[in-house]
């Protein structure tokens, strides 16, 4: 299996850690185990950058608008980033499978750094939107590349040990982004919301270049699926724009929305037809012959809806209805993120020790459904303690299920398709978040329409009702996720978890 060998002792004055292919894993706590964590830290640092970015920029947005103008274009600063990130995810994953996962991952970090530099130097709202799109291209590669590298370095049974590191990364990104964005907005120029990515990105780039040494792919006659990439991009863009504009910018029955729906349907049909015939499809449809991979991507979509919706609407409720401080908006999510961290750690250890995971999908879906259902009952008089408990249930549900989707998907494919499997779950999680937030926005807007903040009691009541309706819709989606969880088949995870005393012997094909 894939592990790390060190070029010198950890206590030395310098360190060069490389990934190699070997046949044994040391017991927990060994030098090689610590080395794996060192390499993963560099990979997850890049992943953290991509997660932090939107939260930091969102907090700094009022300052950006005051400087550059373009209030009517403000939403595109976020939409451009998420749209290009979603579109590029399967492309990056496939390129990693075809060429070199390390090289493709480093290229995505470099592109993200370049986009950050240009965004920080933007002189108008249109240029900022364009540079944010460039950033999003890099972010798509960082996210899928991180999961693909983890899948290449560690067999599924071993990944549970390191699931806590991934959960911590997610928690820091979710909580730290708004806090860091607030500090930048209050004490620095808004341009540092982008410039801060440069030193951290360079550190991650150097770290991963130095630490990772994965054998390059050796495929013959590589062909790029340009037609598949184009039709996939049109499909995703049409779907996201339809969900974003429908019911808000344009009526659902307007020519614009109907036209977008038609474009999405035609391009999707063309994409499926192309992928069935091409030699190296960007998103191989044959992957979805695996029941577990298909269900894992569906589960990823559900968790994306819950995660994005909760991160956006729960702080809004806490600030507007419950009167909590906006300056500490990241801390408002602690009741959700702390249970997520604890549960993810427990799930990782149990999964490594037993190889069992289906029960966690079921428990996660139960907690998500129950938490969303309870949040759908909130009103203007709901106290902080009940809301905190309901958020805790959501956090537990995410801790149970979020990382399992990627692990099960990767366990369902050969190593050569690791990037494609990782990109499938990442894409569906991103799409779930983007489409969910867009639909939730329409629901929330309709609930609060006609209520003015001047009439405080009426406004707060309508505001709380809008939040409740958002989580009522979330409950329905989570209930579907609960039904899906029962159909997941418990296929043994690859690799053997070593005991405390004896290293396990296992083999795996070389990663690329």
Judged on CB neighbours under 10 Å (0-12, 13-18, 19+), 200 is: middle
Q: Is the pTM of this model over 0.75?
A: no
Instruction: Find how far residue 270's CA is from the centre of its chain.
Output: 27
pLDDT at res. 6: 26
Quick one: CA torsion of 142, 147, 150, 152, rounded to 10 degrees? -100
* Gap between the Cα atoms of 19 and 468, Å rounded: 48
Q: Which two tokens stand for residue 410?
A: 């990767």
Are 257 and 215 contained in the same domain?
no
Q: Which of 397, 352, 367 is nearest to 500 (CA)?
A: 352
* Gap between the Cα atoms of 4 and 428, Å rounded: 31
**pLDDT, tens digit, 9 for 90 and up, residues 220-268:** 566 778 888 889 889 988 888 887 777 767 888 889 899 999 999 999 9
Instruction: Find how far residue 385's CA is from the centre of its chain.
Output: 28
What percent of the chain stands above pLDDT 70? Answer: 81
Q: What is the mean pLDDT of residues 89-105?
A: 80
Are 264 and 332 contained in the same domain?
no
Which of 114-118, 157-161, 430-434 is predicted with the least confidence, judged by mean pLDDT?
157-161
* Gap between the Cα atoms of 253 and 317, Å rounded: 31
* Gap between the Cα atoms of 119 and 324, Å rounded: 32
The residues pairing with 246 across neighbouring beta strands, listed in sequence order, are: 250
Q: Is the pLDDT of residue 363 over 90?
A: yes
Are 186 and 293 contained in the same domain?
yes
In a domain, 396, yes or no: yes
Q: How far apart are the first and last CA of the chain?
A: 13
Q: Which of 22, 44, 153, 21 is nearest to 418 (CA)?
A: 153
In a domain, 501, yes or no: no
In a domain, 492, yes or no: no
Which residues touch 187 (CB under 8 Å, ≥6 apart)?
A: none
Cβ–Cβ < 8 Å for 158, 1: yes
Question: Running DSSP on this structure, what letter comes out for residue 10?
Answer: T
Q: Which of 11, 68, 59, 56 is nearest to 35 (CA)?
A: 11
Residue with tokens 């006609």: 450
**pLDDT, tens digit, 9 for 90 and up, residues 294-349:** 898 898 889 888 887 887 788 778 878 888 765 566 677 788 888 888 888 888 77
Are 119 and 51 contained in the same domain?
yes
Are 57 and 122 contained in the same domain?
yes
Give the H or E element holding residue 21: strand 17-21
Which of 212, 244, 277 terminates a domain? The answer is 277
Are 266 and 282 contained in the same domain?
no
Are 120 and 258 contained in the same domain?
no
Please say whether the dihedral angle defined by the alpha carbons of residues 300, 306, 309 and 315, taken in this order, is positive or negative. negative
User: Looking at the 3D structure of the chain, how many domains does it have?
Assistant: 2
Task: Give the SS3 label for residue 509.
Answer: coil
In a domain, 106, yes or no: yes
Domain that holds residue 256: 226-277
Cβ–Cβ < 8 Å for 18, 1: no
């Amino acid at each position: 299996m894939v592990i790390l060998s060190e070029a010198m002792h950890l206590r030395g004055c310098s360190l060069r850690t490389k990934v190699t292919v070997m046949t044994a894993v040391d017991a927990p706590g060994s030098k090689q185990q610590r080395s794996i964590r060192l390499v993963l830290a560099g990979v997850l640092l890049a992943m953290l950058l991509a997660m932090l970015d939107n939260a930091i920029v969102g907090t700094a947005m009022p300052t950006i608008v005051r400087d550059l103008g373009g209030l009517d274009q403000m939403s595109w600063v976020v939409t451009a980033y998420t749209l290009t990130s979603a579109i590029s995810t399967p492309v990056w994953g496939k390129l990693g499978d075809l060429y070199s996962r390390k090289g493709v991952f480093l290229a995505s970090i470099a592109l993200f750094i370049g986009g950050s530099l240009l965004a920080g130097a933007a002189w108008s709202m249109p240029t900022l939107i364009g540079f944010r799109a460039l950033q999003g291209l890099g972010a798509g590669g960082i996210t899928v590349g991180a999961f693909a590298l983890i899948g290449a370095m560690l067999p599924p049974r071993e990944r549970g040990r390191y699931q806590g590191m991934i959960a911590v990364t997610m928690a820091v990104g979710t909580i730290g982004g708004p806090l860091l964005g607030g500090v930048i907005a209050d004490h620095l120029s808004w341009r540092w919301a982008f410039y801060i990515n440069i030193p951290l990105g360079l550190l991650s780039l150097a770290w991963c270049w130095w630490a990772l040494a994965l054998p390059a792919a050796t495929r013959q006659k590589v062909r790029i699926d340009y037609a598949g990439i184009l039709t996939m991009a049109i499909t995703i863009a049409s779907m996201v724009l339809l969900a974003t504009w429908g019911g808000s910018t344009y009526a659902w029955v307007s020519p614009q929305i109907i036209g977008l729906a038609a474009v999405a349907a035609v391009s999707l049909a063309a994409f499926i037809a192309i992928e069935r015939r091409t030699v190296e499809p960007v998103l191989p449809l044959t992957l979805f012959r695996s029941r577990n991979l298909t269900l894992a991507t569906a589960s990823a979509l559900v968790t994306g809806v819950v995660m994005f919706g909760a991160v956006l609407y729960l702080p809004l409720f806490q600030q507007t209805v419950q009167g909590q401080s906006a300056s500490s908006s990241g801390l408002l999510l602690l009741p959700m993120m702390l249970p997520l961290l604890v549960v993810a750690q427990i799930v990782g250890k149990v999964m490594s020790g037993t190889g069992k995971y289906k029960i966690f999908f079921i428990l996660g879906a139960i907690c998500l459904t129950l938490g969303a259902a309870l949040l759908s009952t909130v009103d203007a008089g709901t106290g902080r303690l009940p809301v905190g408990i309901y958020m805790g249930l959501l956090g537990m549900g995410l801790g149970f299920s979020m990382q399992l989707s990627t692990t099960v998907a990767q366990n369902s494919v050969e190593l050569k398709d690791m990037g494609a499997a990782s990109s499938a779950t990442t894409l569906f999680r991103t799409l779930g978040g983007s489409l969910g937030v867009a639909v939730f926005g329409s629901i929330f807007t309709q609930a609060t329409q006609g209520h003015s903040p001047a009439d405080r009691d009426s406004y707060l009541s309508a505001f709380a009702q809008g939040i409740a309706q958002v989580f009522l819709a979330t409950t329905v989606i989570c209930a579907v996720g609960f039904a899906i969880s029962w159909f997941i088949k418990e296929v043994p995870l690859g690799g053997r978890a070593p005991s405390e005393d004896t290293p396990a012997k296992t083999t795996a094909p070389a990663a690329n």
